[in-house]
Every structure is written in C-alpha cells, then in structure tokens.
Amino acid sequence: MSKTYYDPADLRKFGKISEWNQELGEKFFDYYGKVFEEGALTAREKSLIALAVAHTEQCPYCIDAYTKDGLQRGITKEEMMEALHVGAAIKSGATLVHGVQMMNKVNKLEM
Amino acid sequence: MGKLKTQSLQKRDSDLAQSNKQLDILSNGIFANGELPTFKDKISETSHFPLKAKKLEILQINVGYMCNQVCEHCHVDAGPDRKEIMTRETMQQILDVIKTTGAHTLDLTGGAPEMNPHFRWFVEEASKVGVKDFIVRSNLTIIRANKKYYDLPDFFKKYNIHVVSSMPHWTRGKTDKQRGEGVFDMSIKALQELNERGYGMPGSDLKLDLVYNPNGAYLPGDQTTMEKDFKKALMEDFGINFHSLFAITNLPIARFLDYLIASENYEDYMYALVEAYNPAAVENVMCTNTLSVSWDGYLFDCDFNQMLELPVNSKSKHISEYKEELLEGRNIVISQHCYGCTAGAGSSCQGVVA
C-alpha cells in the first residue's frame, strides 16, 4: 500500500472507477464529457472555471489535470492565476459573509 | 537576437546525441515491462501493421542541420555548431528526381534551410521544374538575423514560395522561453515584412502558415480553436495576418526527449501519447505519403526517422538510386516515437491528419 493518500499516477486510473459499477461510472463520464463540450461557454472558459474550482475544492488530481488542460489550450499563466483569484475571492467572501451571522448573534445576545 | 537558449546535444557531448541511445530509451522501460503497448502492438490491434507507404505526395528535403536558433524542443538537435550541410551535388541529384516524381509538394526544411550556401540556387532551379506547392520552413528570425538575409521575403515572393513558420505562442514570454531571448520580437518583425509583400493576407496566393507546437510536456490543443486564438491575438496586438495554423505534437526524440527525461516528464508524456492514440490518425499519418531526404541524400520515412537514423525499408536507399516504384508500398519503419503522430487529431508537418 502507498504511504501517502495521493499518488499522481492514480489520476491515470480514474476511468477504472467504472469497473466496480459500470452503469453509474459510464453515466458519470458521459455527463462529465458533455459538460466540458463547447456550448454557451467556450471549452476554454470552462477549463478556467474548472481550474478555479479545482483549487477551491483542493483536489490535487483536478489541479494537475486542469493546469495541463489550460496549457494545451494556450491559456497563459496570467489567465490561470486570475481565475484562481476568482475562486479565492469567493472562498474568502463566503467565509466573511458569515460574519453577518456572527454580528447578528452578538447583537441578539448582548444587552 | 539575445542569448541562445541552449547548445545542441552534440555540442554538449550528451549521450542522447546518439540515435541508438534514444532508441534504447524508447524501446525499454515502460515499453519493455508491459506497462504500455509498443507502437507495433498498438497499431496491430486495429490491423494497421505493417504500416505501408501509399503514393508519394510530399518530398521533404532536409538541406542541413545548421540553424541560427537552438530551440529547447528541437527534434533535429539543430544549432549554429552543426556542420551537416547538403552539397550542390546532392541537390542536383534531387533536381533530377523532382523532374520525374509524382509528388505535388516539395518541402524544404533544416535547420534553417536559408543557411545552406546553395539554398537560393536550389530554389531557383527547383522552381523551374514547376512543383505545385513549394514549401520553405523558415524560422522567421533568420530573415532578421543578418543583412544578407534581409531580402528573403522578396526572394520568397519571386519564386512563389509557400512559407511555413514556427510560432509557439502569441505572447513574448512563452515564445522566448522555448526559442531563445528576442525570438518573439524578431519573429513579429519578420511576419510584418512578409505581410507587406502580400504573404498571409486574406485572399492572397502568397501562402503564409504558422506552426504551433506546445511549449512543454503536453499535447497541442484543438487546431481550429488555436488558429482562431492566434489570429485574434496577432491581429489585435501587431496587425499580423496569416493563413493557417498547424498544431504539431512534439515527438519524444533528441532535445525534446532530453527535456522530458531531465524534467521527469518522460513517462507521463508517453502515457498521454498512448492514451490519446487515434486509429483514424494512423490512416493518414504523414510517412504514408511523404519521403524525407537527408542532407547527405539518404531516404527516410519522415524527418523524425532521419534523426533516429532509421533508413527506409527499400532497395532504393539514396537519392542517387531513387526509384519511386520501389518505394511505393514499402513497410514504414516504426518505433515508440510514432505515437506522437497518432495522438488525438494526429500530427504531421501539415498539422492534424484526422
């Protein structure tokens, strides 16, 4: 057994999840493939969204995959980092907006 | 131009300057222990083995390995220190062949083909024969490298040369990282000069195409999308026009193989190539309609096999004993580098094939 939870080589084995439940595995990969097709958003825009979400979800496999995907699409380092800041801003905003709840609670409890 | 990116493997006295060392790497490791199928096994699955040459369409001539650039990914291991240069005698033998060949395209490559001292004479003579499509693969910076090359755009125009040029990205940073400091600015200037002569302009017969190849251990993106992105950026930023973009996969040989190994990307890259294997690309892989001639006149299935010193499997091995009928139907010589031409939409010197 591996002594770490994450092994970069496991990303290549992602498709194998279908082996233990073919029907659901295939449905997932069909859905996944469809989502990333060119639509109202370009595949390039979707790749940048996926990269930002990969970071907010802190998924190392997704970070590897969508960094590479971005490079393949000619996306620049600057564009990638800007996308990350969007994710980071939402994460920090989501934390801070709960501050209103804290303030409400304090205001309710304090005399 | 600024500092050269690196030195040739030959100049560095690297083991990988030897083709047999490269072939050892490509045949062993993950391909010997069964982790990945060999190219032969893979194409056998789809009944494509042996891969056979069809009717010859493109004669690609490598007029020498000397180049003014030393790009990090170069499969030729070209550079200013390379002395392999095609002689006028070999060029004459090629001219004799062009007169009788059924090939419709003549494709000059290098190195920087313009650095061969007989380059202009050869272009003049070959153009008299009247090939349908006469390509020169120009690295663009050569046009601005020295005064003696400044008139190349006019020279190209005079002989209606189809110019195919490398341009790894529309941004300065990515281009210079791959090809050397200052390459981007010189390339932009050269493209503007070609545009001024009518090259690459909408509706113009003076063809100017660009070649994109990835700037690292990943495959090229969709060619059509990349072309749109390149066109938009080069027009908006510099007012530059061009006709088509060819997206070419980097093959794991010579300096790109050296880079893959040094950066510990070799195995992942080979996995990516094998996973992206596309049987439809095998149908049209360029070695089936192309013949590559080396600086010293030997014949190869492609420029990559030339660099790996894998000669054609035919009795006609040299341009001096060229017999098209013996070459047609020959079995193509393959190794694991061939996965580079069959990944995704496929890859050839003319871009995607599937």
pLDDT value of position A106:
96
- Alpha-carbon torsion angle B25, B26, B30, B31, nearest 10: -130
Smallest CA–CA distance from A72 into chain B, residue: B221
Return the residue in B218, B231, B266, B273 with the most chain A beta carbons within 10 A, the one to mutate for interface testing. Answer: B218
Q: What's the whole-number mean pLDDT along residues B227-243?
A: 96
Nearest to B216 among A44, A71, A76 (CB): A71
pLDDT at B2 over 80: no
pLDDT value of position B176:
84
pLDDT value of position B171:
87
Is domain A42-111 given the CATH code 2.60.40.10 in the classification? no
B81 versus B177: the higher-pLDDT residue is B81
pLDDT value of position B209:
98
CA B195 centroid distance within chain:
23
pLDDT at B300 over 80: yes
Neighbours of B107 (CB within 10 A): 24
pLDDT value of position B3:
60
Neighbours of B284 (CB within 10 A): 17
Beta strands in B145-188 (DSSP E): 162-166
pLDDT at B223 over 90: yes
Return the residue in A37, A66, A67, A72 with the most chain B beta carbons within 10 A, the one to mutate for interface testing. Answer: A72
pLDDT value of position B79:
96
Handedness of CA B48, A18, A13, B223 (dihedral sign): positive
Query: For residue B318, which of B290, B297, B291 has the smallest C-alpha distance?
Result: B297
pLDDT at B102 over 90: no
A43 Cβ under 8 Å from any chain B Cβ: yes
Q: Predicted confidence band at B259 (pLDDT cuts at 50, 70, 90)?
A: very high
ipTM of the complex: 0.79
Look at A74 and B221 and tell me if their CB atoms are within 8 Å.
yes
pLDDT at B4 over 70: no
Q: How far is CA B117 from CA B68, B76, B283, in A?
A: 14, 19, 38
* Mean pLDDT (chain B, rounded): 95
pLDDT value of position B224:
95
Chain A 62-81, residues with CB within 8 Å of chain B CB atoms: 68, 71-74, 76-77
B214 versus B181: the higher-pLDDT residue is B214
Look at B225 and A76 and tell me if their CB atoms are within 8 Å.
no
Q: What are phi and psi of B164, to 5 degrees?
A: -120, 120
Q: Burial letters for B7-41: b for 16+ Cβ neighbours within 10 Å, e otherwise?
A: bbbbeeebebbebeebbebbeeeebeeeebbbbee
pLDDT value of position B181:
85
Q: Predicted confidence band at B341 (pLDDT cuts at 50, 70, 90)?
A: very high
Decide if B190 contacts B149 (C-beta within 8 A): no
Give me the sheet containing B105-109, strands edge to edge.
B245-247, B208-212, B162-166, B133-138, B105-109, B58-62, B290-293, B299-300
Q: How far is B219 from chain A (nearest CA, A)?
A: 6
Question: B202 preceded by cis ω (within 30°)?
Answer: no
In chain B, which residues have their Cβ closer than 8 Å to the Cβ of A74? 169-170, 212, 221, 226, 229-230
The two three-digit tokens of residue B251, written as one number: 């093959």
pLDDT at B1 over 60: no
pLDDT at B177 over 90: no
Decide if B130 contacts B101 (C-beta within 8 A): no
Residues near B350 by beta carbon (within 8 Å), at least 6 away in sequence: B58, B246, B286
List pLDDT tens digits, range B30-73: 999 999 999 999 999 999 999 999 999 999 999 999 999 999 89
User: What's chain B's Rg over C-alpha atoms?
Assistant: 19
Look at B275 and A44 and tell me if their CB atoms are within 8 Å.
no
Q: Predicted confidence band at B175 (pLDDT cuts at 50, 70, 90)?
A: confident
Write down the domain spans for chain A: 42-111
Place of tokens 């001639």: B293
Q: What's the whole-number mean pLDDT along residues B297-313?
A: 98
The amino acid sitting at B3 is: K
Cα separation, B137 vs B209, whole angstroms: 10
Chain A 9-28, residues with CB within 8 Å of chain B CB atoms: 12
pLDDT value of position A69:
96
* Mean pLDDT (chain A, rounded): 95
A44 Cβ under 8 Å from any chain B Cβ: yes
Q: What is the DSSP letter of B338?
A: G
| Helices A43-56 and A60-72: angle between axes, nearest 10 degrees | 150
In chain B, which residues have their Cβ closer than 8 Å to the Cβ of A68? 218
Cα separation, B274 vs B250, whole angstroms: 14
Contacts of B276-279 spanning 24+ positions with Cβ under 8 A? B276/B219, B276/B343, B276/B344, B277/B42, B277/B339, B277/B342, B277/B343, B278/B342, B278/B343, B278/B344, B278/B345, B278/B346, B278/B354, B279/B46, B279/B48, B279/B342
List pLDDT tens digits, range B116-133: 999 999 999 999 998 899
| Among the ranges given (A78-92, B62-76, B160-174, B293-307), the one the predictor scored with the smallest mean pLDDT | B160-174
Query: For residue B190, which of B168, B208, B213, B215 has the smallest C-alpha distance?
Result: B208
pLDDT at B85 over 80: yes
Length of chain A: 111
Q: What's the whole-number mean pLDDT along residues A25-49?
A: 96
pLDDT at A2 over 90: no
List pLDDT tens digits, range A58-69: 999 999 999 999
Question: Interior CA angle at B76 toward B74 and B80, to 5°?
Answer: 85
Cα separation, B131 vs B136, whole angstroms: 13
Look at A72 and B215 and tell me if their CB atoms are within 8 Å.
no
Place of tokens 């170069």: B74
| Among the ranges given (A83-92, A95-104, B134-143, B343-352), the one the predictor scored with the smallest mean pLDDT | B343-352
- Domains, chain B: 15-342 (3.20.20)
